Amino acid sequence: MKTDVPIRKLPTGVPGLDEVLGGGIPEFSFSLIAGGPGSGKTTLGHQILFANANPEQKAIYFSIIGEPPIKMLRYQQQYDFFDAAKVGNGTVRFIHLGQEALDGGMKKVLEAIVAEVERSNPAIVVVDSFRAMVRSTLAAGSDKEIELTEFMQRLALALTSYQATTFLLGEYAEGESDNAVFTVADGLFWLHQAIDRNSVVRKMHVMKMRGQAQIPGLHTARITDAGFSVFPRLLKPAEVVTEHPLKHRLSTGVAGLDEMMGGGIPSGYSVLVAGPSGSGKTLLSNQFVVAGVERGENGIVAIFEKRPNDYLQTTPRGEHFEKLVREKKLEVLYLRPLDLSIDETLVELQSAVRRLGAKRAVIDSLSGLELALAPTFREDFRESLYRMMGALTGLGVTVMATVELEDSYTDLRFSPQGIAFLTDAIIIQRYVEIDARLRRAIGVVKIRSSQHSKELREYEVSEDGGIIVGSTLEGYDGLLTGTPRGGEKGNR
Amino acid sequence: MLAYEETTGSAAGEATTAAGRVYDKLTTHLTPLIGAAGLQALLARSIKLAARDELASLDEVSVLQGAPKLRDWLETQDPRAVAESAAVVFDTFFALLSTFIGERLTIQMLRSAWPTVEEPAPNESTK
């Protein structure tokens, strides 16, 4: 017989947050939402409140000292989660206790809250903000800390006894703490705004949630018209049953390249296509994704440098792409909000994969992705990429990522910043000068656990924008130096 | 609201005039939402705006002590004499409230005090 008490988890109504919390907010818990000015405490409190309030589970929002309630109503109703009907029919009630705070301090506020909770029996209670009251109480003397502790104990006890799930909103600077409050609280959400050069990235840290295992660390967050969204650092891995990757290979859409790769890309692998500007990386990735659609494997293309319309108009197969997009076999994602995070990128990609049932994904390009990221995430680009590749291939998606690589004729590198080792396969595209002409060479550098061609073959771009791989550039030495010797004309 | 209070009479509350009863109900139903200070501030502003419409009778109501003086003034004056002024002040007040929190939310607040107030049609609501 299971003897531990079942704890119902309430949905937060915030995308991504339930996952971070380990399922939701424990019923009857008493949590603190802390953060500096503008960090989103009021918005988060409202969003959770409106997500849970219904005629059987009423909610009360107590405002004490801080933003005037009329201003709060004015701003919060701009969000999609704000349901005016719930306010009108009494499901959500707003009660201002500013006068009680001024007249009688914490004691009067506590009495008012308890009286109202007794009278109306709400299921959700938000108290915003008690911090100014706490500050003035503590400023009155060191002995007041006991009074504060007593206040918190009594408040938590009263609200829990009346089976209310409660959120206290408090303005705290980074590093500030309040033992009396932090100790009593079952949950502690800290909202940060990380400033790095000109960028500001919102992050949420669930420091504490009694009774369940939350995902640790700082999770990127964003506030839009829809309200708060959280992008968990660790996405829940999908259960994907795949056969051994080497048993099933995906065509790149380029016959010669498939041959070089021993039949194609092993299913579920990540492939890096590295080459200088204009070498045809995007063309190759286009052929890869179209080849997939032709075989019933839907695909997504994540772009960072051009807007979707520009991309579709300038890519050689643009019209065909547009047709596939209309048929919902292909989706072009343009991810360039300000101060992008890798977690947000992953959530968008994962959502698109699920939406389309995609089996192929193209990231064009990693160079563009790096530039789109907020500075704070660029510093951990390798770690971010590691997580991203792992998360996507974990969904059973075969990923092709392009990366700009300046031709270097003195050292052999396959990616900037040493990210090549993160992928399962690497294809390089290079320019070589032969007979005073720029010609293109393609090679397969590695495919994990698989044999592959070691040749450098010439390739061309056809009139319709397709890559055609030709024969091996035989008879030359030093192709990778940029100025090879040998060939039909003999030694130079 | 004035018409409603005129017809329902003084069954509840201390106010003896329709305008006084409107004032009291506003206080009861809106104070929990926007606080006593908030309500006083909005009423004071409403009086100021209404007085600009050349309602000379409102000149005597000081802005600084506007709201409590307003109630006294509504209660002590001849109801017929203040009807027009009271209507203007309350109209101004509701318009001001709508400016801040939108028409839909304003009407929902008012319906808690006066159930006969009509909800706006869906395409009239602001969001």
Which chain B residue's Cα is nearest to A97? B35
Q: Is the CB of A77 less than 8 angstroms away from the CB of B31?
A: no
Output DSSP code: residue A416. Answer: G
- In a 13 Å sphere around the CA of A185, the CA atoms on its Cβ side amount to 24
Q: Which of A77, A93, A98 sits opposite B127 (nearest CB)?
A: A77
List all residues 6 or more positions away from A401 whose beta carbon is below 8 Å from its beta carbon. Answer: A270, A271, A272, A273, A362, A363, A364, A365, A366, A389, A423
**Shortest distance, CA A122 to any CA of chain B (angstroms):** 16
A467-472 and A456-461 strand pairing: antiparallel
Closest chain B residue to the Cα of A70, Cα to Cα = B34
Q: Over 80: is that where the pLDDT of B66 sits?
A: no
Q: Calculate how close chain A gets to B94, using CA atoms only, in Å.
A: 13
Task: Note the pLDDT of residue A76.
Answer: 92
Of A189-193, A314-318, B28-32, B43-47, where does the model show the most confidence?
A189-193
CA A230/CA A214 separation, integer angstroms: 13
Comparison of pLDDT for B67 and A335, the residue scoring more:
A335
Beta-carbon contacts of B54 under 8 Å, excluding residues fewer than 6 positions away, are none
Q: Which residue of A has its CA nearest to B30?
A: A95
Q: How far is CA A2 from the centre of its chain?
A: 37
Nearest of A353, A434, A340, A337 to residue A381 by alpha carbon:
A340
Report the Cα A465 to chain-centroid distance in Å.
33
- Rounded to the nearest angstrom, the gap between the alpha carbon of residue A420 and the centroid of all alpha carbons in its chain is 23
How many CA atoms within 13 Å lie on the side-chain side of A401?
29
What pLDDT does residue A417 have?
Answer: 64
Q: Which residues of A294-310 are buried (b: 16+ CB within 10 A; e: fewer)?
A: eeebbbbbbbbbbebee
Question: Rounded to 5 degrees, what are φ and ψ at A96?
Answer: -95, 125
Predicted pLDDT of residue A18: 96
Burial of B81 (0-12, 13-18, 19+ CB in 10 A): exposed
A283 contact partners, CB below 8 Å, separation of at least 6: A315, A316, A461, A465, A466, A467
Q: What is the pTM of this model?
A: 0.80
Of A78, A87, A98, the CB nearest to B35: A98
Predicted pLDDT at B59: 58
All residues of chain B having their beta carbon less than 8 Å from the beta carbon of residue A84 are 102, 104-105, 108, 125, 127
pLDDT score, position A147: 76
Residue in B38, B112, B127 closest to A69 by CB: B38
Q: Which of A283-287, A376-380, B1-5, B28-32 has the highest mean pLDDT?
A: A283-287
Q: Residue A69's closest chain B neighbor by CA?
A: B34
Q: Among B27, B31, B33, B114, which would you mutate to test the A interface (most chain A Cβ atoms within 10 Å of its Cβ)? A: B33
Secondary structure of chain A: what % helix, strand, coil (to 5)?
35, 30, 35
Confidence (pLDDT) at A490: 47
Structure tokens at A364: 């064009």
Q: Which residues of B touch A90 (CB under 8 A)?
A: 112
Measure in Å the smallest separation between the Cα of B22 and chain A Cα atoms: 19
pLDDT band at B58 (very low <50, low <70, confident <90, very high): low
Asked if A5 is an interface residue toward chain B (Cβ–Cβ < 8 A), one would say no
Host H or E run for residue A467: strand A467-472
pLDDT at A208: 92
Reduced to 3 states (helix: H, G, I; strand: E, B; else coil), residue A49 is: helix
Q: Do B105 and A90 touch (CB under 8 A)?
A: no
Helix, strand, coil share of chain B (percent; to 5)? 70, 0, 30
Place of tokens 């990127």: A220
Q: What is the pLDDT along chain A (492 residues), one digit of tens a residue?
A: 556 777 899 999 999 999 999 999 999 999 999 999 999 999 999 999 999 999 999 999 999 887 788 888 899 999 999 998 898 888 999 999 888 888 888 888 888 998 999 889 999 999 998 777 777 777 777 677 777 777 888 888 888 888 899 999 988 887 777 777 888 899 999 999 988 888 888 999 999 999 888 998 999 999 999 999 999 986 655 555 556 767 789 999 999 999 999 999 999 999 999 998 889 999 999 999 999 999 999 999 999 887 888 888 877 778 888 899 999 999 999 887 677 888 888 888 989 999 999 999 999 989 888 888 888 888 878 888 888 888 888 888 999 999 988 766 666 666 666 777 788 999 999 888 888 888 899 999 999 989 899 898 999 998 888 899 998 988 887 777 766 777 655 444
CA distance A83 to chain B (A): 10
